[in-house]
């Protein structure tokens, strides 16, 4: 099976802005014998004005070259090279998304797609959804993925779609966007499988945000999100904990830089800072507590929606 991990950058973006994340993806791909593609959006016939939608157009162009494509944001890196992409491939599922942990969002910045006509058309259609955005604070592709999927999955739920669309059309800030997204999530319900689409539940997908556990990770983790070079911080002298930290900062879990020349299937040993290796049960308990907070917010946003 030909599997590719793909990162899409604009022509003006430096790889150094995401060096640790990208190096981890390159090394991981060599270890697991996947292809890694660092694509520049300017190299593809994608005329989209919004760079976030343009990258989905790029993925649609790359998909036919492989059996499976894993699209990831540039600030997503691998922390545990022992996990494999195949763990998230299921029979009958052409496109897999996952729930972000800290809010109600379906993540637009990473998905796994099989090389099928269905997946190609879904991703290409999502790229072109830029031209259907409301004249409001719409949240770009993060906001759009919710309405796009809802319209695709529930085309006959016209009343419900209209109600959610009204909220989105009048959105003025992120708080409004979250209410709109909660409206869509109410439509989706508690299901995870929608025909050829799957949305992995919180903590069950291949990526989670690193800041949720203070940068700590366990053997249950795979990829972590939020590894921007400019937001990398020095480890505090008084140590770290699994408590949530500021979302726009992170600590590297590695001791030193990657030597890409040593990355191979016979070398699965990465050198970590032991401070960041946590107990799986303790980290899961910490995440579960936060999950309860998010579930409560979905209910509260549902009440706000009723009053709009």
- Tell whether the model's pLDDT for residue 303 goes beyond 50: no
Closest among 229, 222, 218, 242 to 110, alpha carbons compared:
222
At 88, the pLDDT band (50, 70, 90 cuts) reads very high
At 67, the pLDDT band (50, 70, 90 cuts) reads very high
Q: Are 277 and 216 in contact (CB under 8 A)?
A: yes
Strands annotated E in the chain: 3-9, 35-40, 68-72, 76-78, 95-98, 110-114, 193-194, 197-200, 207-209, 223-225
What sign does the dihedral 87-93-95-97 (CA atoms) show? Answer: negative
At 298, the pLDDT band (50, 70, 90 cuts) reads low
Average pLDDT over residues 228-244: 77
pLDDT for res 306: 43
Q: Which residue has the higher pLDDT, 159 or 235?
A: 159
| Neighbour-count burial of 275, counting CB atoms closer than 10 A to its CB (0-12 exposed, 13-18 middle, 19+ buried) | middle
Domains parsed from the chain with CATH numbers: 1-152+192-295 (3.90.550.10)
Percent of the chain with pLDDT over 90: 69
Token digits of residue 288? 């579960």
- What is the 3-state secondary structure of 227-256? CCHHHECCCCCCCCCCCCCCCCCECCCECC
pLDDT for res 300: 64
Rg (CA), the chain: 19
Token digits of residue 200? 């992995």
Q: Are 52 and 71 in contact (CB under 8 A)?
A: no
Residue 205 sits at the vertex; the CA angle it makes with 264 and 167, to the nearest 5 degrees, is 140
Rounded CA-CA distance 140/129 in Å is: 10
pLDDT for res 217: 87
């Amino acid at each position: 099976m030909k599997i590719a991990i793909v990162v899409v950058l604009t022509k003006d973006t430096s790889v150094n802005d995401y060096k640790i994340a990208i190096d981890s993806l390159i090394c991981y791909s060599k270890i697991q014998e996947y292809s890694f593609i660092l694509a520049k959006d300017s190299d593809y016939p994608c005329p989209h004005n919004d760079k976030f939608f343009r990258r989905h157009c790029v993925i649609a162009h790359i998909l036919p070259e492989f059996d499976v494509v894993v699209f990831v944001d540039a600030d997503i890196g691998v922390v545990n090279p022992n996990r494999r992409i195949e763990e998230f491939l299921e029979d009958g599922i052409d496109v897999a998304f996952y729930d972000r942990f800290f809010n109600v969002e379906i993540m637009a910045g990473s998905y796994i797609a099989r090389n099928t006509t269905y997946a190609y058309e879904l991703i290409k259609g999502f790229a072109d959804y830029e031209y259907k955005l409301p004249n409001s604070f719409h949240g770009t592709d993060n906001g759009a993925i919710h309405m796009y999927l809802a319209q695709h999955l529930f085309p006959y739920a016209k009343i419900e779609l209209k109600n959610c669309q009204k909220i989105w059309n009048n959105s003025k800030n992120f708080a409004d966007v979250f209410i709109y997204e909660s409206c869509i999530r109410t439509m989706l319900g508690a299901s995870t499988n929608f025909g050829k689409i799957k949305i992995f539940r919180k903590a069950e997908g291949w990526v989670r945000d690193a800041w949720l556990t203070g940068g700590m990770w366990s053997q249950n983790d795979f990829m972590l999100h939020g590894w921007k070079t400019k937001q990398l911080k020095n480890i505090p002298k008084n140590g770290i904990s699994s408590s949530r930290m500021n979302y726009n900062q992170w600590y590297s879990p590695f001791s030193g830089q990657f030597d890409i020349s040593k990355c191979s299937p016979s070398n699965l040993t990465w050198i970590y800072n032991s401070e960041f290796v946590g107990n799986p049960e303790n980290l899961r308990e910490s995440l579960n507590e936060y999950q309860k907070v998010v579930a409560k917010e979905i209910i509260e946003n549902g009440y706000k929606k009723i009053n709009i």
